[in-house]
A and B are shown apart, each in its own frame.
Chain A
Amino acid sequence: CRISSDEKPAKFQPPPKPVIIDKQKQREERRFLSPEFIPPRERTDPLKFYMERKDMIQRRKVFNIPEFYVGSILAVTIANPYANEKTSRFVGICIQRGGKGLGATFVLRNVIEDQGVEIRYELYSPRIQAIEVLKLEKRLDDDLMYLRDALPEYSTFDVNMKPVSRLDHEEIPINTLQVRMKPKPWSKRWERPKYNIKGIKFELPEEKMKEAQKWNKPWLEFDMLRKYDTSKIEEEIWKEVSEELKK
């Protein structure tokens, strides 16, 4: 065996494996399953989720619900019996996506004439005429509720904004914007580790940040009963949904 200059037997290192990057496969691998299709971990019969999914797929065949994430800017037009042209349009940033199944909702936030406005829409409501994605992007967090306590410039978006064009195969850009906040008090103590927010530029003194870490629960991440592994369920549901939508 070979002896290195240190006079100890050298450990066998296998040669590096060649990595083949197949660009076509990369394009197909990116699949997006809307989060409301994944059923919660409950004692209900899976037949109930199957019936809901059938209804959701039927609605998607007639009306296009685009792919969007929390942090993307959307424009929604709904039928309104009390408006002039019977339709009303609202543009805003999606700060939260909640609910599972047919009752899935999303909240859009915008600041209009110095007044912050948040509207919660139901994805599968028949009153929605159109959903357009003006800018598709992700943010560092899943929940942007802290925008209520941030400076209003981070929540203002032009109502007549033009949709930003993007290519199909590009990855969704993650906006690493760190938001500056209004002076405390805030509606929630966003510096606490419970909310796990990465998108705020905390300008608080060090002692306050250390005090907030007192509420840290590092054992939660290792709690096995809280884990809900959805990978297999997602695969099956993705197959079902994509087959039905292709018909």
Chain B
Amino acid sequence: MMPIWTKSGKKHAVTLLKVQDCHVLRYISKEESGGKTSKLLVGGKNASPFFKSESTMELFKEAGVPRKQKVTTFNVTDDAIIKPGTPLYAAHFRPGQVVDVTAKTIGKGFQGVMKRWGFKGQPASHGQTKTHRRPGAISTNKAAKVYRGKKMPGRMGNIYRTCYGLKVWRINTKHDIIYVNGSVPGHTNCLVKVKDSKLPSYKDCNKNPPFPTFFADGDEKLPEDLYDDEIFQFANPSVTYA
């Protein structure tokens, strides 16, 4: 995480996400998947081909791509289908776009009710006998049972969670890095899924994105750094107020 300043002098915190060897693995049509739209399987970081069975490796052999550590699905419309085997780059996103980021949260292990669900617990003194961090009552008398889904101690973390509506401030095309506003679920160097935002207030934010994706061997030659309009770029002199 890094600080970033706007032209008015305000500071925002920013997370750096690296796009490391992403390839499209397979196209699944609408009828095949049984959903409303067709799907594209995308693979992430490269990993070793050993330690895995042959059947799982078939997917990567078809696409002609080294084995990936993580495979995710994206629901795509028919005009945005990409041929399996094409690499995906950070320039697929542009500064000013709004993005949702999904990842597995940091695993906290078996945790008590105060940390896991934010219960208040009991006072530290004034006669409490061996009861300081316990849940207290778990149901009423009339119910005569404990409802399903009752908040109790258990394993916390290591589940997929999404942060919605994160603005993209800057993109580095040379190292394939996306600078995303705010914090992102997951520990440092964990695998993360970045999608266009589903929030209705940011529907019109994505103006002229590279469609279906940014192709590196195409005619477009982008500069090494793409900045949002409001960012203060360090090559400019200091900010002054008129």
Q: Report chain B residues within 8 Å CB of A55.
A: 234
| Total number of A residues with any Cβ neighbor in B under 8 Å | 28
Interface residue from A43, A58, A128 paired with B189 (Cβ < 8 Å)? A43
A44-B189, A45-B18, A102-B3 as given contacts; A63 in contact with B238, CB under 8 Å: yes
B132 to chain A, nearest CB (A): 29
- 14 CB < 8 A contacts A-B: A45-B18, A45-B189, A48-B16, A51-B172, A61-B235, A86-B240, A101-B2, A103-B3, A124-B234, A125-B9, A126-B238, A127-B9, A127-B238, A129-B238
Inter-chain contact B241/A86, CB cutoff 8 Å: yes
Q: Residues of A with Cβ closer than 8 Å to B?
A: 42-45, 47-48, 51-52, 55, 58-59, 61-63, 79-81, 86, 101-103, 122, 124-129
Whole-angstrom distance from the CB of B83 to the nearest CB of chain A?
Answer: 30
Closest to B4 in A: A102
User: Does the CB pair A51–B16 fall under 8 Å?
Assistant: yes
Mostly, the A contact residues are mixed
The answer to whether A125 touches B189 (Cβ under 8 A) is no
- Given A126-B5, A127-B9, the answer on whether A51 and B175 have CB atoms closer than 8 Å is yes
> Within the assembled complex, what's the spacing in Å between the Cα atoms of A127 and B9?
6
**B177 is an interface residue with CB less than 8 A from chain A:** yes
- Cβ–Cβ < 8 Å partners of B172 in chain A: 51
B188 touches A42 (CB 8 A): yes
A167 to B137, CA, bound (A): 75
Which A residues are in CB contact (< 8 Å) with B5? 125-126
CA distance A122 to B175 in the complex (A): 27
Closest to B232 in A: A126
Report how far A227 CA is from B113 CA in the complex, Å: 38
Closest approach, in angstroms, between the C-beta of A175 and any C-beta of chain B? 31
- Central interface residue in A43, A48, A125, A127, by most chain B CB within 10 Å: A127
* B18 surroundings in chain A (CB, below 8 A): 45, 47
Best-buried of B2, B234, B235 by chain A (most CB within 10 Å): B234
Q: Are B189 and A129 in contact (CB under 8 A)?
A: no
With both chains docked as a complex, state the minimum distance between the C-beta of A39 and any C-beta of chain B, in angstroms. 13
Say yes or no for B239: interface residue by CB 8 A criterion: yes
For residue A130, which residue of chain B has the nearest CB?
Answer: B238
B236 on interface, CB distance cutoff 8 Å = yes
Q: Are A59 and B234 in contact (CB under 8 A)?
A: yes
Shortest Cβ distance from residue B171 to the other chain A in the assembled complex, whole angstroms: 12
